[in-house]
Amino acid sequence: MKRTLLSLALGTAVSLAGISAASAGTLDDVKAKGFIQCGVSQGLIGFSNPDDKNNWTGLDVDFCRAVAGAVFGDGQKVKFTPLSAKERFTALQSGEVDILSRNTTWTMGRDTSLGLVFAGVTYYDGQGFMVKKSLGVDSSLKLDGASVCTQTGTTTELNLADYFRANNMKYEVVAFEKADEVIAAYDSGRCDVFTTDQSGLYAERLKLKNPDENVVLPEIISKEPLGPVVRQGDDAWFNVVKWTYFALLNAEEAGVTAANAGDMMANSTDPGVRRLLGVEGDFGKAIGLENSWAANAIKAVGNYGEMFDRNVGPETNLKIGRGVNALWNKGGIQYAPPVR
């Protein structure tokens, strides 16, 4: 019972005065141990998914690699801990992971009462529904009386209850702890409907026996801003994570890519790019890193656009367009403060 152990670990950790997780500087700890422990999902295609050789890929995974690039100049200095939705916050609170990058929705409750803070939004998502085509349903408003499979301990199960109540519809919920159990139950006919974040629906659909016999309904019923989480009260580490995210966005905006970052460092005359890549100014030192921190992060995983396209974009199996995740000057809402 890993979850119980985690919770006990939390209990013990908070019981021992002085060893409390929040009091130690995560940045120093990470530098001392030489790698970042990154909490990810137990397998969600496009976000964090291991292959048969335990190589992790995905947007959330790449974000951790970017942070590792910024801290160590090497994107491979990351170890991944797969966590269920239920385990994730306890794992971060107890110090088992340094950063939680696991398609986790930013909500006020989580931001304020768990001793954690969200460092940014790496993917703007929303909750949707998937049903079997044979049911002949074309709108989630026609789901009255349906059985719905979902994952326990998520915002999804709360939105689900809200949505059906708001629309005066009845439903039966079947909640499992692991995403794989949810999708297996849906596939075996236990439920009529599978619900999670829409990106997750497209990703999980690929795991079904007959993906083409299932359809994602058009409605989006919630806002699900997904982003990395760190412990509250550890500002140095929070800054590193937050500004790594901003650096990836700024890089896309300025046209810096994994391929041309080295070249731009040497030759670019654009002062914005020179500051971002650490050629001018001491911005890296200000957050306790090398001045080339952003350049190293970009070299590790590319800019935000490259990361998006490689993992979830139109060329991948998920075929998700940029939509609201495009930069602010391209019609989306991804926006980063300048490096200045």
57 vs 152 by CB, closer to another protein: 152
Q: Is 215 in the site for another protein (CB under 8 A)?
A: no
Q: Is 207 in the site for another protein (CB under 8 A)?
A: no
Helix (H) or strand (E) holding 181: helix 179-187
From the CB of 17, what's the least distance to another protein, in Å? 5
Q: What angle do CA 181, 182, 184 make, to 5 degrees?
A: 65
Q: Which residues pair with 81 in a beta bridge?
A: 39
Minimal CA–CA distance to 40: which of 80, 95, 76?
Answer: 80
Minimal CA–CA distance to 297: which of 73, 39, 31?
Answer: 73
**Contact range with another protein by CB under 8 A, out of 17-25, 118-126, 294-302, 310-318:** 17-25
Q: How far apart are CA 80 and CA 98, in angstroms?
A: 10
The residue behind tokens 């930013």 is 106
Would you state the structure tokens that stand for residue 300, as one six-digit string? 């590790």
Q: How far apart are CA 144 and CA 172, in angstroms?
A: 10
Q: Is 208 in the site for another protein (CB under 8 A)?
A: no
**Contact range with another protein by CB under 8 A, out of 41-49, 86-94, 200-208, 272-280:** 86-94
Q: Is 50 in the site for another protein (CB under 8 A)?
A: no
Contact pick of 85, 249, 289, 312 for another protein (by CB under 8 A): 85
Q: Is 16 in the site for another protein (CB under 8 A)?
A: yes
Taking residues 227 to 256 in sequence order and writing x for each that binds another protein by CB under 8 A, - otherwise, the string is: ----xxx-----------------------
Do 86 and 182 form a contact (C-beta atoms < 8 A)?
no
Count of C-beta atoms within a 10 Å radius of residue 333? 13
**Contact range with another protein by CB under 8 A, out of 28-36, 72-80, 151-159, 318-326:** 151-159
Q: How far apart are CA 62 and CA 53, in angstroms?
A: 17
19 vs 206 by CB, closer to another protein: 19
Q: Is 15 in the site for another protein (CB under 8 A)?
A: yes
Q: Is 165 in the site for another protein (CB under 8 A)?
A: yes
133 vs 319 by CB, closer to another protein: 133
Q: Is 221 in the site for another protein (CB under 8 A)?
A: no
Count of C-beta atoms within a 10 Å radius of residue 59? 25
Q: Is 147 in the site for another protein (CB under 8 A)?
A: yes
Question: What string of DSSP letters covers 251-301?
Answer: HHHHT--TTTHHHHHHH---HHHHHHTTSSS-HHHHTTS-TTHHHHHHHHH
Size, binding site for another protein by CB under 8 A: 56
Q: Is 143 in the site for another protein (CB under 8 A)?
A: yes
Which residues contact another protein by CB under 8 A? 3-4, 7-8, 10-11, 14-17, 20-23, 85-86, 89-90, 93, 109-110, 113-115, 135, 142-147, 152-154, 157-158, 160-162, 165, 171-177, 181, 185, 188-190, 192, 231-233
